[in-house]
A and B are shown apart, each in its own frame.
Chain A
């Protein structure tokens, strides 16, 4: 494992991608059939629930938790296995979503398993290089990401119709409790998989993480409102990929059209980084039990690929259960031993 340390900005950018991977396509879809105000309230509730939990988890944050979870060896192994399972499920979820999107949008005739395998190998190569390489790759991709988001935004502004956001009424009965729960838990998980031993200055990183956590929620609310204002809530609830549907409407000076297959790369970037990160995390923990070094990546790849072959549909319920267990386990780990920087 590469022992180079992160800067706090690198962590912030990395976190932004990790948080976004969950919101792309699948989570946006789960908020369908609601009006814009209800969705905004759901997201704000998720933020309000998540903030105290996040700070609670920061207090429990351990610098070298892999060796200091508990004095009891069996409990340590149980904790580690929970962490491995949860991070594997995240990588499985991301790679599955990615392959489904590719099959639905770009390559309808190619086997979904084949695309999943290609991206799995790609992410494994990135994961093998170490965390510093992942964060450098993330920082480089961030520029492309921002440029593409700006193109999406600027050339879709003409399609925005604010009347689609009306009526401004609140139906508290219709709030989507389950999706709010996922939105509360998944960002927390993403923050927790960032390895603690690699941070340069914990206090500064904590500040940056809190800021990017807020930025992510604001970005998510704006993104959903932007999509609804273009598509209208009825159309938004019917189509499978509202995020990609608005890309189809982009027409740059009547000259550049049909750009969605190029602009879709933002979803690729988010999911690939998340998968690489989750694979690296599970491999690191698994190595602390079995000490297999690079071979562990092959084992992880094989496990994920076998699970991908068996899965036809991924339900959010399992994800919530796994994430909840992970966060509860994290809360029970010992208090941090402060290291003097």
Chain B
């Protein structure tokens, strides 16, 4: 009987029913979504199944996102496969309803893993559509590790942020002659783009990077082993930042301290309604509160090994 069962299983496991050939699925690497007030304009980059490794771009304009993908399905006569998607590009024109629809669409789509990076751009054009998705992802990696501007974020993280804190910060790219990382865009309740200083302050408060460089008055300062601890006590937020600065002049560490304090204060003044709301909400379930804050920054000076050649 055991042999009989094994034989039956052999036929069942071989996967002859409902199989999908590689040529029957459309593997998507990038999706870009824009909104013109009435219709969604979606751009989809599909990897071709031939040996040339080409990528084909398709554009659809329709009232809902699901509708766009259905049309694309019919046009390609292939099943849409989002598992290998690397990048989601969103336009600056989207509003809360659009974000809700996009999140609903991707979470309900069976093949989507939601682990792709998401960026917002000022306009969707050939510059972003024709660029390699890996290049954009590397650009974001570099922007955090060198200038501390913006860290890449996946769709899952965005959903988590929106559900838990009702605010999310998505990297904002500006496309002019070339693509540059400008900072973060606040989405959901607010809909504004943070300045470069505010974005740096946010990264410091969130403790996203330990080692980075910042530019003050055209001079580069290299900071190492930075660590931020946020504490909330009785409606008061305490931000404690500790960093190590390696340079030639002890006074420079004071310049860095002042600069960091200034950008963090600036960020809190302009954005206290969204980021600190979640901290307060988590600790105390009150809707009306006045945020008081205290910033303690300590930049420890350490003499550079190389020294200053021209001094």
Q: Measuring CB to CB, which residues of chain A are less than 8 angstroms from any residue of chain B? A: 108-111, 114, 117-118, 121-122, 124-125, 128, 163-164, 166-167, 169, 231-235, 238-239, 245, 248-249, 257-258, 294, 297-298
Contact = CB atoms under 8 A, between A and B. Distances in A.
A117 B164 contact: no
B110 A128 contact: no
Interface residues of B, number: 28
B12 A235 contact: no
A114 B12 contact: yes
A258 B164 CA distance: 25
A168 to B, nearest CB: 9
A167 B164 contact: no
B115 interface: yes
A126 to B, nearest CB: 10
B110 A122 contact: no
Nearest to B161: A232
B163 A167 contact: no
B110 A121 contact: no
Interface string B263-304: 000000000000000010011110000000000000000000
Given A234-B164, A235-B164, A163 B13 contact: no
A121 B12 CA distance: 11
A249 B115 contact: yes
B1 A298 contact: yes
Contacts of A232: 160, 163-164
A166 B18 contact: no
Q: Interface on chain A toward B: helix, strand, loop, or mixed SS? A: helix
Nearest to A128: B2
Given A164-B164, A294-B1, 7 more contacts: A121-B8, A121-B12, A124-B5, A163-B282, A232-B164, A239-B107, A249-B115
11 contacts: A108-B110, A108-B111, A110-B18, A114-B17, A122-B9, A125-B5, A163-B279, A166-B283, A167-B282, A233-B164, A248-B113
Contacts of B160: 231-232, 235
Nearest to A258: B113
Contact of A248 (B5, B8, B156, B284): B156
B6 interface: yes
B5 A249 contact: no
Nearest to A165: B282
A236 to B, nearest CB: 9
A245 B155 CA distance: 13
Contacts of A245: 156
B86 to A, nearest CB: 11
A235 B115 contact: no
Given A235-B160, A249-B115, A258-B113, A125 B6 contact: yes
B20 interface: yes
A114 B113 CA distance: 25
B159 interface: yes
B163 A235 contact: yes
B11 to A, nearest CB: 10
